[in-house]
Structure 1
Amino acid sequence: MVKAVNTRSADQELVKGPVDKAMEVLEALVLPGGPHRLGEIARRTGLTKPTVHRHLRTMTEYGFAEPAEGGRYRAGPRLLGLAAAALNDSRAIELIRPVLADLRSRTGHVAFYAVRHAGDAVYLEQSEPAREYRVSTRPGHSTPLHACGVGLAMLSALPPEETEAVLGVPELEARTPQAPTDPAALRAVLARAALCGYAVDDEYDEPDVRSVAAPVVDARGQVVGAIGISGLTFTLDPESTQVYGPMVRAAARTVSTELGARTPALGAVRTEGRGQRS
């Protein structure tokens, strides 16, 4: 929910330190739809306009933000450079890029990679075919884990206690009328995903959009992210998900193996806790 501007008192703001506030401003600065006005950033963060302006001024001095037309602000060159350097230094991203390109080529759908941050899936990399339709997700975009294919894929392979911590949040957000928010219904979705090795987002995150995703694990068997594809429901219909699901699962397994994971043989299902079939 968007927070109101300037409704937070100075005493309330003191509860958060300067670094906390700066991180909130930075996160709002890079949200889709930018460049963003100062007032818009204030609404999203709940901070006062003077506080937001002070942080933006400092970020501009250090190259993390830069002014744009109409009094707006966008990510600065130093921030973009650091983000690019971090992604290029990531072994997972290095392995994932060609896998995503191959998956996009073979399916004709946008392919992407996301990681988990607390209760959200954060998209880091994307390979998109040349077509008129463009998905709303972009690198840096985040979606609640329970409301998207990559999030469900990660939840299906997490230890049960971690999954329950996510499902136990009061009033899970329903991004579309089709999105399940009842914990029992979500557990059934996750059980199916664990059984077949991939999760299906059936218009949970965006109307008329379906996605298929599978978890990526490392050498310790821990979930590090998920690979998925997404498309309009009339091109990625339920029958297609049964064809593309194993392809996405195989792509995720390829990256997992490169990261040192000992993935089970085809058709094998882990019996302890929630597992995945390769």
Structure 2
Amino acid sequence: MVKAVNTRSGDQELVKGPVDKAMEVLEALVQPGGPHRLGEIARRTGLTKPTVHRHLRTMAEHGFAEPAEGGSYRPGPRLLGLAAAALSDSRVLELTRPVLADLRLRTGHVAFYAARHGSDAVYLELSEPAREYRMSTRPGHRSPLHACGVGLAILSVMPAGESAAVVDAPDLEARTHNTLTDPAALRAELARAALRGYAVDDEYDEPDVRSVAAPVLDAEGRPVGAIGVAGLSFTLDPGSVEVFGPMVRAAARTVSAGLGARTPALGVVDPTTGGEGA
């Protein structure tokens, strides 16, 4: 949620240390739609403009930020280099990229991988078809776990105690009119996702957008992320969900197997029925 500019007093800001504030500024800096003006970053973080300017100036000195036109800032070359190095060295992304490309070709929809960070899902990799309409979700985008397909997929395989901390949290954010914010409804949805092996986001995160996602597990059986496909609701209709759900589930299991997870035997998806063959 966007916070008001300069509403926080100096005493309130002292609750957070300089590193905490720098991380907030850095996260706002890399949000889609950049370069971002100082006032916009202040609104996103709730920090005062002088505080934001001080951190941006330090980041620019070290190459993590770069001044742009009109007093705005964009990510700097050092930050981009570190991000590229981290992503290229990721085993899960190395396994995920060809799987996402295959899903994109087979479904005609954008395919993506997201990992959990706290109570959010963070999108790390996308494979997008060439079309005029593009999804708003980009790498680095965050969505609450309870409000998106990849988040629901992750929650469906988390230990009960860990998932309860998310499901029972007070004042769950309603991203759309369809977002599930009632704990009982959320638990029922997670039970369905666990039973079929994939979760369905029925316009929970964005209006008119539906997604299907399945969890990726590591060698210990812990969820490290989820793979999904998304499209406009009239193209990714309930019938398509029944076909693409098993495809996404098989794709996630392929990546999980590459990470050493013990998963059920994988079959070949029959695109005419949506089922898995022997």
Q: What's the TM-score bracket when you normalise by the shorter of the two chains?
A: over 0.9
Residue in structure 2 matched with residue 203 of structure 1 by the alignment: 203
Report 1:96-107 matches (<5 A). 96-107=96-107
Distance 1:72 1:128 in 2: 29
The corresponding residue for 2:219 is 219
Q: Which amino acid aligns with 1:225?
A: G
Cα distance, 1:30 vs structure 2? 0.9
1:264 & 1:183 partners in 2: Cα distance?
30
Q: 1:48 maps to what in 2?
A: 48
**Matches of 1:192 and 1:92 in 2, distance apart?**
26
Residue 196 of structure 1: CA displacement? 0.1
Gaps of 5+ in 1: 268-278
Q: 2:87 & 2:44 partners in 1: Cα distance?
A: 27
Greater shift, 202-211 or 10-19, is seen at 10-19
Quote the residue 1:275 is aligned against.
none
How far does the alpha carbon of each residue in 1:55-92 deviate from its partner, in whole angstroms, 9 at most, with x for none? Answer: 00000011111111111111111111111110000000
1:62 corresponds to which letter in structure 2? H
Residue 157 in 1 paired to residue 164 in 2? no
SS of the aligned residue for 1:140 comes to coil
Residue of structure 1 in register with 2:242 after alignment = 242
Indicate the RMSD between aligned Cα atoms, in angstroms: 1.0
What is the alpha-carbon distance in structure 2 between the residues aligned to residue 12 and residue 128 of structure 1? Answer: 42
Whole-Å separation in 1 of the counterparts to 2:54 and 2:178: 42
Q: Distance in 2 between matches of 1:156 and 1:55?
A: 39
Distance in 1, Cα, partners of 2:164 & 2:110: 30
Contact 2:144 2:151 in 1 (8 A): yes
Q: Aligned partner of 1:196: which letter?
A: R
- Residue range with higher mean Cα deviation, 44-53 or 119-128: 44-53
Per the normalisation by structure 2, the TM-score is 0.94
User: Could you say which residue in structure 1 is the equivalent of 2:4?
Assistant: 4
Task: Please state how far the C-alpha of 1:146 moved relative to its aligned partner.
Answer: 0.6
Larger mean Cα displacement after TM superposition, 37-46 or 195-204: 37-46
Match of 1:261 in 2: 261
**Judging changes above 3 Å, is the alpha-carbon distance between structure 1 residues 192 and 266 closer, same or farther for their aligned structure 2 residues?**
farther
Q: Specify the code of the residue in structure 2 equivalent to 1:186.
A: L
The list of structure 1 runs, each at least 4 consecutive aligned residues, that deviate by more than 3 angstroms after superposition, is none
Deviates more, 1:240-249 or 1:171-180: 171-180
Partner of 2:276: none
Query: Once the two structures are superposed, what CA deviation does each residue of 1:126-170 show, in whole Å capped at 9, x if it has no partner?
Result: 000001110011000000001100000000010111110001111
Distance 1:170 1:105 in 2: 40
Q: Partner of 2:144 in structure 1?
A: 144
Aligned position for 1:120: 120
Counterpart in the other structure of 1:132? 132
Q: Distance in 1 between matches of 2:164 and 2:71?
A: 44
For 2:82 and 2:266, locate their aligned partners in 1 and report how far apart those are by CA, in whole Å.
Answer: 39
- Residue 91 of structure 1 corresponds to 91
| Aligned residue identity for 2:154 | M
TM-score (norm 1): 0.94
Gaps of 5+ in 2: 268-278
Which moves more between the two structures, 14-23 or 250-259?
A: 14-23
* C-alpha distance in structure 2 between counterparts of 1:4 and 1:130, whole Å: 37
Offset of 1:266 from its aligned partner? 6.1
Query: What amino acid sits opposite 2:112 in the alignment?
Result: F
What is the 5 A alignment of 1:69-84?
Answer: 69-84=69-84
Kindly provide the amino acid, as one letter, of the partner of residue 131 in structure 2: R
SS at match of 1:211: strand
